[in-house]
Amino acid sequence: MLPGDQTQVLTTVVAKKEADPGKDFFPLAVFYQEKFYAAGKIPGGYFKREARPTEKETLTSRLIDRPIRPLFPDEFKNDVQIMSR
């Protein structure tokens, strides 16, 4: 949990213990999601659930991914998933 003035970000990271054989790339998945209720908004109408990621959420996911990716060793090929809300 990362607190700010009026903001808190919950980030979880999970990784596989072993890499899949034959994988020649680093599978890093980053998901950032801003909940409507966190901003004081509740979606109205027929669909009450959160929709697909907005452009802002996609760009924020990339902003998280780019500086983190070089921190892993080149030989590390385990699946890693980062979720921020």
Please write the tens of the pLDDT for every residue from 20-38.
999 999 999 999 988 766 6
Average pLDDT estimate for 65-81: 96
Average pLDDT estimate for 6-22: 89
pLDDT at 25: 94
pLDDT at 64: 94
pLDDT at 48 over 70: no
Distances in Å between the Cα of 46 and the Cα atoms of 35, 43, 51 are: 18, 9, 12
Report the predicted TM-score, pTM, of the whole model to 2 decimal places: 0.75
With a CB cutoff of 8 Å and minimum separation 6, the contacts of 23 are: 77
How many C-alpha atoms does 63 have within 13 Å on its Cβ side?
8
Q: Strands 2-3 and 8-9, how do they pair?
A: antiparallel
Domain ranges of the chain: 2-16+25-84
With a CB cutoff of 8 Å and minimum separation 6, the contacts of 61 are: 30, 31, 32, 53
